[in-house]
Amino acid sequence: MAKEDFSGLEETLGVTFQNVDTLRQALVHRSYLNEHPDFPLGHNERLEFLGDAVLELVVTENLYNNYPNPEGEMTNWRAALVNSEMLAKLCHQLDIEGFLHLSKGEAKDSNSKARKYILANAFEAIIGAIYLDAGWDGAKKFITERVLSELPEILEKQLYIDPKSRFQEAAQEHLGITPSYKVLTETGPDHAKDFEVGVFLGKEKIASGVGTSKHEAQVAAAEAGIALKGW
């Protein structure tokens, strides 16, 4: 059952809504309405559409005004700030999950890839709700405090470069070796396979990762390898 007292969430977001139903709608997943057709509000996809545009413009404006770097570099930085992994992480940090209106099936499936996208979309919908309720300045303040605050770490750790490329560059720099990847296990039916992939330096397995595709598992293995090596 989703929480309905939004005062604590408003405090966490740093926004007091004039119309709290705007915030409530941002937390309604389409699946919930299939089970509750009499619910008085719509789902959050239109707010997500709006919030996505506001988020991208605020981030783009900030990068343009504060960094003299070429367009290609800033595009990569922006992608690292607004991708689904980052937005789902930020949504989780704000403890928003308990407020989401989900179907019973979606509510149970808390660790799925689908949940990550639901959280990321909810974060964008919240931005859309803040924009409607508090205007451009309110949305900009929220994005600056919650999203753009992640930029220093992204730049310091070069998180805008994909993990496989970062691991390869570090392995070549430190050891003169190019990593290789090998599928260790495949489980599940053809339409819903899970892969475990190992990343190797020479014959030594450094780490492994799992994912619903070989590429996703390779990326997870590379991230684990970077962490284990301290690179």
Would you name the residues annotated as active-site residues? 52, 124
Contacts of 147 (CB under 8 A, 6+ apart): 55, 58, 59, 81, 82, 86, 90
For the chain, report the end-to-end CA distance as a whole number of angstroms: 43
The β-bridge partners of 205 are 200
Question: What CA–CA distance (Å, rounded) separates 183 from 176?
Answer: 23
Q: What is the DSSP string of 161-212?
A: S-HHHHHHHHHHHHHS---EEEEEEEES-GGG-EEEEEEEETTEEEEEEEES
Helix 71-82 and helix 45-66: axis angle, to 10°?
Answer: 140
Closest CA relative to residue 2, chosen from 30, 24, 34: 24
Token output for 176: 């003169």
